[in-house]
Amino acid sequence: MKSILQISGMTCEGCKSSVENKLSSLDGVDNVKVDLGRGQAVIYSKNPVSLSLIKETLPPKFSLINEEGVNLDINGDLTVKESKIKQLKPLFIILGYIFIASILLNYKNWNSSNAMLDFMGLFYIIFSFFKILDVKGFSMSFRMYDPLAKQAPIYGYIYPFIEVILGMMFLIRFEVNIALILTVIVLGITTIGVTQTLIKKRSIKCACLGTTLNLPMTEATFIENALMIIMAFSLIFS
């Protein structure tokens, strides 16, 4: 018989091999095929395989989900999925700190353009920090949805350092127009990949904060990129 499982947390070929090997080791399983792009595992077996056994066999980083993205517990019953707000709490906290910092840096002599430049600079510096903590892991997750990283994997390795450079350019006001144009291009490419992922409803990790924080790909990723692009355009034409 054929069983199709949705599995979250698979970000690279290593994850694919790990899932295939673990599921293939189960008694009664004849063959396992994993589709990394869809986040699916197809199990061919003589008899139904217990979801609890599958859950126990898979490494902790992988989770079984249903078609709506709801986690399955070890008994095969649906559990209440954490709300998106709770899942994305670290992202909201970081963005809040960046927003407050950009306001405080400019409140005495208020200038909206300077506040936006400081926000963008701090955004890049802080987000790049989390990516640099595990550049290899970030690059693997990033190429799951970024169109350029898919075609040129090396781009995923240098991307965190591009963010560092752009962040410094904004904060010290060096060649700001060039930094703004690069922001539109770089984040524009990523946003295309994010949009495609959301439309296809793929269950993958967001690489925006590297691998340290296990953030899901949601509309929040699109919004944060779109916000940066909008600010860049507004400053270019101001």
Rounded distance between C-alpha atoms, residue 57 and residue 73, angstroms: 13
228 pLDDT exceeds 60? Answer: yes
* Same domain membership, residue 221 and residue 167: yes
69 pLDDT exceeds 80? Answer: no
* Same domain membership, residue 46 and residue 147: no
38 pLDDT exceeds 90? Answer: no
* pLDDT at 171 (0 to 100): 97
Long-range contacts of 211-216 (CB under 8 A, 24+ apart): 211/133, 211/134, 211/137, 211/138, 211/141, 212/130, 212/133, 212/134, 213/90, 213/91, 213/130, 214/9, 215/87, 215/88, 215/90, 215/91, 216/8, 216/84, 216/87, 216/88
Number of domain units in the chain: 2
Residue 129 covered by a domain: yes
CATH of the domain at 27: 3.30.70.100
* Same domain membership, residue 107 and residue 223: yes
Residue 28 is part of which domain span? 2-65
pLDDT, mean of residues 116-129: 97
* Same domain membership, residue 229 and residue 165: yes
* pLDDT at 186 (0 to 100): 96
pTM (two decimals): 0.68
Per-residue pLDDT of 132-146, as tens digits, reads 999 998 998 898 899
Going by pLDDT thresholds of 50, 70 and 90, the confidence category of residue 185 is: very high
Residue 225 covered by a domain: yes
* pLDDT at 85 (0 to 100): 67
* Same domain membership, residue 231 and residue 131: yes
Residue 78 covered by a domain: no
Residue 75 covered by a domain: no
* Same domain membership, residue 155 and residue 218: yes
* Same domain membership, residue 153 and residue 94: yes
* pLDDT at 65 (0 to 100): 65
